[in-house]
């Protein structure tokens, strides 16, 4: 038994060696808005990700402190901070993935669309720089209203002749994170085992969790499903109200953003079967952009997956969300075309 134990552990350690000796490719990630409420914990989480070799932290305020702080962590990536607009090009150059949490967050009583006035311009100018300095990067759009900022990004990239629909993602992972947490609590199943697709968009009723497809299966009543759906749709507002004027979700968003960026990196690196929900250019419905499960690969979106079977309640939710989502998408497109 001693022998077996030692040969077992030798095998384990040699397989560990094999695994770690295959070097992960060099990957540069840039975070725009890195010193903000989301940006700081997201910078931390991306610094912990062994798939990242170079981490560029850009913000118009507060970058040097965040970059110096994060750079002392003894993990693979080399961290550089970029603090002024003249440095944005350097921050972006060579990036494989650009994550954008730049812009103002909600206060109680506001909708995400109330952020459009300020954030649309911020996103537009950041995307112009992406088009110039790293047109091949995967863009992970966090800035709200995502239902409009993703179409804004697409229009900017089209204007610059660099649009690739496979490389533009609205980050809706926080909706999935919430749906998983709330479902696990209600269904009394292990949260680590839970999967729930969330489709549509990222604001109010445009967020449509598909609890009929949730696994592990649980026997929840219609009322329970409706309450879970509403809580997922209002998850952002729950945090905005709890923070009482001090912003919106930052820590759970950083977690969600890190999960999504990690999935993008895995896809780029050729890991098979990487699937996450995301708001992307889509033909799954008649709307030009729509969140659904997406398979990620070496070029970004490898396949936009269909919605699967919906319950009657979800079918109604899908029809109900379309007008709002359509008008938010059009607002983003008009912002760029009319400017
Ligand atoms: P915050 O105000 O704490 O941080 C925003 C950061 O962006 C600040 O550091 C600011 O200096 C920076 N910034 C502003 N203009 C910039 C520019 N032109 N270039 C670079 N950086 C710039 O806000 P936050 O809480 O981090 O939220 C950021 C955004 O993310 C908001 O729009 C919020 O609504 C959105 N958000 C989205 C989700 C989602 O699920 N997609 C979740 C939470 C928050
Ligand atoms: C969220 O869902 O938490 C974000 O979109 C921020 C917000 O304004 O709710």
Say if residue 177 is exposed, middle or buried (CB neighbours under 10 Å; 0-12, 13-18, 19+). Answer: buried
Residue to mutate, 240, 247, 255, 257, ligand 2, most ligand atoms under 8 Å from C-beta: 240
- Prediction pTM value: 0.95
Q: Which ligand is the nearest neighbour of the Cα of 38?
A: 1
**Closest ligand 2 atom to the C-alpha of 252?**
3
Question: What per-residue confidence (pLDDT) applies to 20?
Answer: 52
Distance of alpha carbon 233 from alpha carbon 22, whole angstroms = 42
Question: What per-residue confidence (pLDDT) applies to 32?
Answer: 99
Q: Which ligand is the nearest neighbour of the Cα of 103?
A: 1
Distance of alpha carbon 334 from alpha carbon 336, whole angstroms = 5
Question: What per-residue confidence (pLDDT) applies to 23?
Answer: 78
Question: What per-residue confidence (pLDDT) applies to 21?
Answer: 57
| Parts of the chain with a pLDDT under 70 | 1-22, 339
Residues with CB under 6 A from ligand 1: 32-33, 35-39, 58-61, 101-106, 115, 119, 122, 126, 142-144, 146, 171, 174, 202, 247-250, 253
**Closest ligand 1 atom to the C-alpha of 173?**
40
Distance of alpha carbon 97 from alpha carbon 167, whole angstroms = 9
Which residues are catalytic, by number?
Answer: 202
Distance of alpha carbon 68 from alpha carbon 81, whole angstroms = 8
CA of 39 to the centre of ligand 1 (A): 7
Contacts of 100 by beta carbon, 8 Å cutoff, 6+ apart = 32, 33, 123, 126, 139, 140, 141, 142, 143
CA of 35 to the centre of ligand 1 (A): 9
Sign, CA dihedral 232-236-237-241, equals: positive
Question: What per-residue confidence (pLDDT) applies to 18?
Answer: 45
Say if residue 339 is exposed, middle or buried (CB neighbours under 10 Å; 0-12, 13-18, 19+). Answer: exposed
Residues with CB under 6 A from ligand 2: 105-106, 112, 144, 174, 235-236, 239-240, 248-249
3-state helix, strand, coil in the chain (%, to 5): 50, 15, 30
CA of 282 to the centre of ligand 2 (A): 23
Tens digit of each residue's pLDDT (9 = 90 or more) over 311-326: 999 999 999 999 999 9
Contacts of 84 by beta carbon, 8 Å cutoff, 6+ apart = 60
How far is residue 137 from each of residues 14, 162, 163, 183, 291, measured CA to CA in Å? 35, 11, 11, 34, 20
Q: Which ligand is the nearest neighbour of the Cα of 58?
A: 1
End-to-end CA distance of the chain: 75
Residue nearest to atom 5 of ligand 2 (CA): 236
Contacts of 147 by beta carbon, 8 Å cutoff, 6+ apart = 112, 170, 201, 202, 203, 206, 279, 289, 325, 328, 329, 332
Other Cβ atoms closer than 10 A to 36: 24
| Residue 174 token pair | 């926080």
Question: What per-residue confidence (pLDDT) applies to 229?
Answer: 99
Beta bridge partner(s), residue 281: 289
CA torsion angle for 219, 220, 221, 223 (degrees, to 10)? -170
Residue to mutate, 34, 41, 91, 102, ligand 1, most ligand atoms under 8 Å from C-beta: 102
The helix (run of H) or strand (run of E) holding residue 81 is strand 78-82
Closest to 97 in 3D by CA, of 278, 230, 289, 326: 278
CA of 98 to the centre of ligand 1 (A): 14
CA of 299 to the centre of ligand 1 (A): 27
**Closest ligand 2 atom to the C-alpha of 202?**
5
Residue nearest to atom 18 of ligand 1 (CA): 122
């Amino acid at each position: 038994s001693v022998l077996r134990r030692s040969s077992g552990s030798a095998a384990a350690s040699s397989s560990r060696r094999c695994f770690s000796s295959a070097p992960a490719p060099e990957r540069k990630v840039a975070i725009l808005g890195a010193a903000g409420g989301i940006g700081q914990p997201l910078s931390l989480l991306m610094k912990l990700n062994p798939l990242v070799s170079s981490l560029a932290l850009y913000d118009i305020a507060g970058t040097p402190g965040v970059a110096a702080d994060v750079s002392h962590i003894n993990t693979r990536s080399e961290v550089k901070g970029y603090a002024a607009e003249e440095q944005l090009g350097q921050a972006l150059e060579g990036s494989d993935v650009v994550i954008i949490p730049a812009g103002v967050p909600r206060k109680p009583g506001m909708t995400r669309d109330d952020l459009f006035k300020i954030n649309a311009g911020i996103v537009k100018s950041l995307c112009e720089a992406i088009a110039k300095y790293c047109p091949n990067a995967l863009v992970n759009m966090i800035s709200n209203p995502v239902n409009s900022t993703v179409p804004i990004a697409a229009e900017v990239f089209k204007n610059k002749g660099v649009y690739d629909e496979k490389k533009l993602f609205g980050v809706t992972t926080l909706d999935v994170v919430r749906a998983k947490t709330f479902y696990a609590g209600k269904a009394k199943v292990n949260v680590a085992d839970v999967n729930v697709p969330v489709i549509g968009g990222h604001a109010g009723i445009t967020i449509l969790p598909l609890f009929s497809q949730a696994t592990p299966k649980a026997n929840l009543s219609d009322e329970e499903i409706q309450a879970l759906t509403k809580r997922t749709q209002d998850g952002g507002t729950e945090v905005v109200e709890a923070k009482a004027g001090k912003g919106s979700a930052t820590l759970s968003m950083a977690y969600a953003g890190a999960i999504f960026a990690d999935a993008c990196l895995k896809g780029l690196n050729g890991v098979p079967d990487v699937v996450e929900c995301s708001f992307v250019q889509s033909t799954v419905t008649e709307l030009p952009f729509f969140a659904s499960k997406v398979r990620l690969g070496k070029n970004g979106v490898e396949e936009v997956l269909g919605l699967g079977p919906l319950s009657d309640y979800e079918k109604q939710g899908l029809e109900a969300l379309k007008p709002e989502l359509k008008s938010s998408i059009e607002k983003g497109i008009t912002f760029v075309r009319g400017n």
